[in-house]
Homo-oligomer: A and B are copies of this chain.
Amino acid sequence: MSSSSEPGLYECMSTLRAVRRLRPDPIPAEVLERVLQAACWSPTGGNQQPWRIVVVQDDAGKQGLQDIYLPLWQDYVVGFLDRIKDTPPDEKAQWHKVADSGNYLADNLHQAPAILVFCANPAFMAITDAGLDRPSMVGGGSVYPAVQNAMLACVAEGLGCTLTTLHCRNESAVQELLDIPTEWATVAMVPIGYPVLGGHGPISRKPPADMAFADRFGQEWPG
């Protein structure tokens, strides 16, 4: 594709939001292939590509994932609603919309035409923060860029998607369901499909003035 005919980079980035209401309509094979190709282009430490995607499209697999996900979501949303109960009314209304769409996803996950389960094998990674006295994150550096590429491609292709990780709380069930060897971690579950509502669109994010610092942490970024 030439740069004049394909979707613009910044346009895709600035409209990538969680789309949790997905139509069951099938995704054409060539569209899905472009999403997977986008993931494959991502950089990884030492170019090891230490991740794989299980593209779950069969009914038994999707229903199995929904059976695993729903109770985890139901448990999670209780705490979520508790944490937001004292936020200002406007903000609370927004969070309730998020909870509603999360409820919808949890109830209808099996209806998505495809669920991408990203796996990653730490044996093929140099996890430089493994020995530190904090949660390790560096392993994610060789798989979440692939997830992000796939999700940006979804925007370009008109597909809704959202990154979920709650299934990790019952990872062994996911591994058993999808024949994933125990040495492969399951680090992201991304249901994709054509959106029921508007799909991707405006997002609410803090700007560089709030997220960047000049030279030292805490030093205002002039922007």
Residues of A participating in the B interface, judged by any CB pair closer than 8 Å: 1-14, 16-18, 29, 33-34, 36-43, 45-47, 49, 51-58, 61, 76, 80, 119-120, 122, 125-130, 132, 134-141, 143-145, 147-149, 151-153, 156, 163, 165-169, 171, 178-181, 184-185, 187-188, 203-208, 211-219, 221-223
Min CB gap A114→B, angstroms: 10
Tell me how far the C-beta of A190 lies from the nearest C-beta in chain B, rounded to whole angstroms: 11
> A84 vs B171: C-alpha distance in the bound complex, in angstroms?
34
Chain B residues near A122 (CB, 8 Å)? Answer: 134-135, 137
Chain B residues contacting A6 (CB-CB under 8 Å) are: 3, 8-11
CA distance A2 to B5 in the complex (A): 11
21 pairs from A and B in contact (CB 8 Å cutoff): A2-B8, A3-B7, A3-B8, A4-B4, A6-B11, A8-B8, A13-B38, A16-B42, A41-B203, A45-B165, A46-B80, A51-B211, A52-B217, A58-B215, A134-B185, A137-B185, A139-B140, A141-B165, A145-B145, A148-B149, A178-B216
